Structure 1
Amino acid sequence: SGDMKGAIEDCNQALRINPNLAIAYFNRGAARLQSRDKKGAIADLQKASKLFQQQGEIVQYQYILDLIQKINIDRK
């Protein structure tokens, strides 16, 4: 499963330096998902998708929206 706590802390550190780093929100969301924190994962993924959209990264934006939809389906 890897060191998810360390991965999350690395993302936290990156976001302290650059709070608009969409990939850090994505990576932290993925780590939280692996840690079974679906609520935290979805919050991070939503933030990442918003930032990717604002930055014109439409492929990443759409990928994350699809991922969030899948997580929500799996939660039911």
Structure 2
Amino acid sequence: MSCLSLIRRLSECDADCNLALNLTPNNLEADLNRGLAHYKQEEYQAASADLEKAALYFGDRGETTAYNKTLDALNNLRQQLPYFSEIALI
């Protein structure tokens, strides 16, 4: 898959998730998928916000496995944020 193709697919994913969230604001899968798409596009702040929202919903619904996996992804992302902030200052 070419880089351009991947960028288009991630942009389409983002648009699809936005539409789903406009129709159903508490759509867990849309928040999770949009967060992952943001992460792959190196939009780390947006990814963090979406993953945090998904984790809260999973926790509230008692979906322990999904909650733990989303928290793991969120924690991994947050560990990377200071590194990327340092690069931006160079």
TM-score (norm 2): 0.79
With a CA cutoff of 8 Å and minimum separation of 6, indicate the structure with the bigger relative contact order.
1
Q: Is residue 2:28 matched to residue 1:22?
A: yes
Give distance in 1, aligned partners of 2:45 and 2:29: 18
- Corresponding position of 1:50: 56
RMSD value over aligned CA atoms?
1.1
Which structure has the bigger radius of gyration?
A: 2
Alignment of 1:1-76 (within 5 A): 1=3, 2=6, 3-76=9-82
Aligned-residue offset at 1:44: 0.2
Give distance in 1, aligned partners of 2:81 and 2:49: 14
Q: Which runs of 5+ in 2 are unaligned?
A: 83-90
CA distances 1:7-60 after superposition (whole Å, capped 9, x unpaired): 101001111111111111000000000110000000000000011111221111
TM-score (norm 1): 0.92
Percentage identity across paired residues of the two chains: 32
Count how many residue pairs are aligned between Structure 1 and Structure 2. 76
Q: Which runs of 5+ in 1 are unaligned?
A: none
Which stretch of the first structure deviates more once superposed, 1-10 or 36-45? 1-10
